């Protein structure tokens, strides 16, 4: 892992370089992904160019194009019938699942459901009584979207948790049709634990269409004349690699999206009370996403060496060290700030997905941080609690977008409309003001639409 010391002259350039690699305009792609690009297109296209080609092909070619990319990219020869997980496959996965695993899934789902239900927007009515009689009735109304698509990764690992963190909020919102896109891999559309989780929470529409082609299928539709395949959705949520993120950005406008989420990331903000073993474990856990960014920010200099040593000790014991180490080297950093104030400023500047504050008084420091997708307080609140169990969704803004973007929640699956009703007396009371404003803008037809009712 690189060390960045703000007391040196070149620290800003080093920090900017790290930040640039993590944005959606960066090039955070695994070596396998680069090799696949060359194999598929015969030239070293940028991720954006790859996504543009795939989306254009799917929009023009529909399901045939999706299946073609699935064969060429994923090595799976699927048909209109096998691209969708069947009811029998769901039942077989549920029957084969570890009962203890399913119990844990149900408890986690209940935690998510409880939290999402608590924060769900409710209709907000306003009544305005008009002097002399008459009333205005206003409502901010919230209704669920009809059909949404959810992306669940399945490249380096299986993620039943992501299914929970996307589908359950949509269910709490009241969405009736939920289509899930997963890669056709042993960690995705052929993963028994993932399919058993679908069965456990009532998700029945799952397509083995990962990557940019999966996003394009959800956005533009990829169905045959007899209805097989993927029907277009109104909204796409969920995480993925850079290709998924870029495809979501490309599709925005045709559909709504939650955010343009890229590689996972964490900042651990720590002081002298932090346990180096805990900090190392948290950095390693995030790097395990491969690629994943893990940054320690501290003003306590001895912590840097202690964490570096603990990282090496723990990597020696982990079976996935060959995936984790490259992430730490490419996208990790140990950053030494001059003091607590600078550490908080740099944390806010990086606007990380996950912020874990491991200090003597984490609540006090949290009040100084504006930009973070999710904040974990104290030495005994590892990010894994948020990943799997606590209740807020783990689908969060990455690449510095926490400056303006939010984590996925139930309210992303709701549409809001304003409902307005004036009675005759209320219109008469407002008429002069409305006519005057309309005429000031030279919109005489607007003014006439009021005056014709009050003449």
Positions marked catalytic: 353-354
Residue 455: name the closest of 421, 431, 423 by CA.
431
| Vertex 277: Cα angle to 272 and 282 (nearest 5) | 100
Largest separation between any pair of C-alpha atoms in the chain: 85
Q: Are 230 and 217 a contacting pair, CB within 8 Å?
A: yes
Q: Which residues of 206-231 are buried (b: 16+ CB within 10 A; e: fewer)?
A: bbbbbbbbbbbbbbbbbeeeeeebbe
Distance CA 327, CA 31 (A): 11
3-state secondary structure the chain: CEEEECCCCCHHHHHHHHHHHHCCCCCCCCHHHHHHHHHHHCCCCCHHHHHHHHHHHHHHHHHHHHHHHHHHHHCCCCCCCCCECCHHHHHHHHHHCCHHHHHHHHHHHHHHHHHHHHHCCCCEEEEEECCCCCEEEEEEEEEECCEEEEECCCCCCCCHHHHHHHHHHHHHHCCCEEEEEECCCCCCCCCHHHHHHHHHHCCCEEEECCHHHHHHHHHHCEECCCCCEECCCCEEECCCCHHHHHHHHHHECCEEECCCCCCEEEEEEECCCCCHHHHHHHHHHHHCCCCEEEEEEECCCHHHHHHHHHHHHHHCCCCCHHHHHHHHHHHEEEEECCCHHHHHHHHHHHCEEEEEEECCCHHHHHCCCCCEEEEEECCCCCHHHHHHCCCCCCCCCCCCHHHCCCCCCHHHHEEEEEEEEECHHHHHHHHHHHHHHHHHCCCHHHHHHHHHHHC
Strand duo 124-129 + 135-144: pairing:
antiparallel
């Amino acid at each position: 892992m690189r060390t960045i010391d703000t007391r040196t002259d070149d620290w800003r350039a080093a920090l900017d370089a790290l930040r640039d690699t993590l944005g959606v305009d960066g090039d955070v792609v695994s070596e396998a992904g680069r090799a696949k690009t060359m194999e598929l297109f015969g030239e070293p296209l940028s991720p954006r160019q790859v996504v543009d080609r795939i989306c254009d092909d799917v929009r023009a070619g529909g399901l045939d194009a999706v299946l073609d990319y699935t064969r060429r990219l994923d090595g799976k020869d699927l048909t209109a019938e096998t691209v969708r997980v069947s009811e029998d496959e769901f039942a077989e996965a549920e029957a084969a699942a570890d009962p203890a695993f399913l119990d844990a899934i149900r408890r986690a789902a209940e935690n998510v459901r409880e939290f999402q239900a608590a924060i769900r927007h409710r209709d907000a009515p306003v009544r305005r009584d008009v002097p002399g009689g008459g009333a205005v009735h206003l409502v901010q109304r919230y209704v669920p979207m009809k059909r949404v698509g959810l992306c669940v990764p399945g490249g380096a690992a299986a993620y039943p948790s992501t299914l929970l963190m996307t589908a359950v909020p949509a269910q709490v919102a009241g969405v009736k049709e939920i289509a899930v896109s997963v890669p056709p891999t042993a960690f995705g559309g052929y993963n028994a634990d993932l399919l058993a989780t679908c069965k456990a929470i009532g998700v029945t529409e799952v397509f083995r269409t990962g990557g940019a082609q999966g996003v394009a299928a959800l956005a533009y539709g990829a169905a045959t004349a007899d209805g097989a395949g993927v029907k277009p959705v109104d909204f796409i949520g969920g995480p993925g690699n850079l290709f998924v993120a870029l495809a979501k950005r490309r599709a925005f406008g045709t559909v709504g999206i939650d955010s343009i989420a890229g590689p996972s990331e964490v900042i651990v903000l720590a002081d002298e009370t932090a346990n180096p073993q805990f900090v190392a474990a948290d950095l390693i856990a995030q790097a395990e996403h491969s690629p994943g960014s893990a940054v320690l920010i501290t003003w306590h200099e001895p912590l840097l060496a202690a964490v570096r040593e603990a990282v090496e000790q723990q990597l020696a014991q982990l079976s996935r060290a060959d995936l984790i180490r490259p992430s730490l080297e490419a996208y990790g950093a140990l950053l030494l700030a001059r003091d607590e104030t600078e550490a908080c400023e740099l944390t806010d500047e990086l606007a990380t997905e996950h912020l874990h504050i491991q200090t003597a008084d984490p609540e006090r420091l949290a009040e100084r941080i504006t930009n973070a997708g999710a904040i974990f307080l104290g030495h005994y609140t590892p990010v894994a609690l948020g990943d799997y169990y606590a209740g807020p969704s783990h689908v969060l803004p990455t690449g510095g977008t926490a400056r303006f973007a939010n984590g996925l929640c139930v309210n992303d699956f709701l549409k809001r409309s304003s409902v307005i009703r004036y009675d005759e007396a209320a219109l008469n009371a407002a008429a002069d003001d409305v006519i005057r404003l309309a005429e000031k803008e030279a919109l005489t037809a607007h003014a006439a639409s009021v005056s014709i009712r009050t003449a």
